[in-house]
Each structure stands twice: as C-alpha cells, then as structure tokens.
Amino acid sequence: MLSIDAWLDEKPYKELYDSVVHEKVSAQADHSQVALECGILLKQWAGTRGKVGVELRVYLAEGTTLVPDVSFVSSERLAPLSEIERQKLPFAPDIAIEVRSPDDYEANVRRKTELYLRYGATIVLNVDTAKREVRMSDAESEIVLRPGDTVQHPAFADLEIPVAEIFAILEG
C-alpha cells in the first residue's frame, strides 16, 4: 500500500510549501553535473561526520516537504532517530544544497532557503551554474562566493570547498 504522500515522489518530483505544490524542475546537464560534483566534494569532507545524500526528501512541518539536490546530516542529529525517521528526515539537513535551474524563480529559491534555515539547516548553498557563483546563507547573513573563494563556515570545522572545484566539471 502506498503512503498518502507517495504522489510527491512520482516524477516529476514535487515539493510542498506555503500550501502550494511546486514541481521540481527537470535537471539539465549542467545542473546534474554540478549537483554530482557538490555531492562528491561534500562527501570527501564529511567522511564519518554524517551522511551525504542526493534528493533526500525532508519533512519540515505539516504541509511542508522539500527535496534538496544535495544534503549533509551530522551523525549527532541522526543518532536519536528511528529507522523510519532516518529515511524520511523530520528536519532540514545541516547543509542543504540547491543547484539553480534556468526555470527556478528567485522568490522560490529564497523561500526554500528560509524554510531550510527555520527547520534546522545551519547553512544553505544556492549554486548558480549560469553565473558560476554560490550564495551561502545562514541564520545571520548571506554571502556570494565566486571561483577563487572557498565555502567555509565556523559551524563546520575544516569545511573547505573551493568554489572553482564546484564548477570545474563545466569548464571541460
């Protein structure tokens, strides 16, 4: 028997927030390659600190569920969860990464960033393949990083992801 929310995971995947169903934009080549690269770089840093996943649906509140392109959840936050909760996270990941698609609306990107931060994310990285920049947001601020800069945050010891490495796959 399918769960009541199984329709959310039928393609195209859907996100639900602000009482509106939003279809996830179908990934184009640049989006797909950069999302994969973000996952690889994040996994290299994460090691045994926690889990890195792609398109892991998170349940933030009644009527609010998002699907970040890439996510990191620390072992400490995963430890108290039941097996079911580990499969369907009841909070935002510590690090949520969204790779912009050409059809993404800026208002939706900003709203999703707000929701991730409100429901447990420490940082949200919005990666723009067209502009070759990463907008890093936390509860206090937002900065724009470009090739030559490095993704770093005091909440994550030794997290250092060179922005140029995120986009290197597109330069070949």
Q: Sign (positive/negative) of CA torsion 8, 52, 119, 105?
A: negative
Residue 6 lies in a domain: no
- Residue 4 inside a domain? The answer is no
pLDDT of residue 19: 87
* 3 in a structural domain: no
Task: Give yes or no for residue 5 having a pLDDT over 90.
Answer: no
In a domain, 80, yes or no: yes
pLDDT tens by residue, 128-168: 999 999 999 999 999 999 999 999 999 998 999 999 999 99
Cis peptide before 154 (omega within 30 of 0): no
Residue 53 included in any domain: yes
CA atoms of 40 and 54, how far apart (whole Å)? 10
- Enclosing domain of residue 158: 30-170
Structure tokens at 157: 């010891």
State the average pLDDT over residues 28-41: 94
Q: What is the structure's pLDDT at 10? A: 72
CB 150 within 8 A of CB 165: no
Give phi and psi for 33, each to the nearest 5.
Answer: -65, -40
Q: Which of 152, 99, 166 is CA-nearest to residue 128?
A: 99
The distance from CA 28 to its chain's CA centroid, rounded to whole angstroms, is 17
Cα 34 to Cα 126: distance, rounded to the nearest angstrom: 12
Give the span between the Cα atoms of 109 and 68, in whole angstroms. 11
Confidence (pLDDT) at 24: 80
Are 30 and 168 within 8 A, CB to CB?
Answer: no
Specify if 73 maps to a domain: yes
12 part of a folded domain: no
pLDDT band at 37 (very low <50, low <70, confident <90, very high): very high
pLDDT > 70: percent of the chain: 94
pTM: 0.93
How many domains is the chain built from? 1
Q: Is 112 helix (H, G, I), strand (E, B) or coil?
A: helix
Q: Tell me, what's the pLDDT at 2? A: 37
Q: Is residue 146 part of a domain?
A: yes
Q: pLDDT above 90 covers what percent of the chain?
A: 76
CATH, residue 84: 3.90.1570.10
CA distance 4 to 14: 14
Q: Taking Cα atoms as reference points, which of 92, 139, 79 lies closest to residue 120?
A: 92
Is it the case that residue 116 has pLDDT exceeding 90?
Answer: yes
pLDDT tens digit sequence for 58-89: 999 888 999 999 999 999 999 999 999 999 99
Nearest to 124 by CA among 158, 86, 88, 151: 151
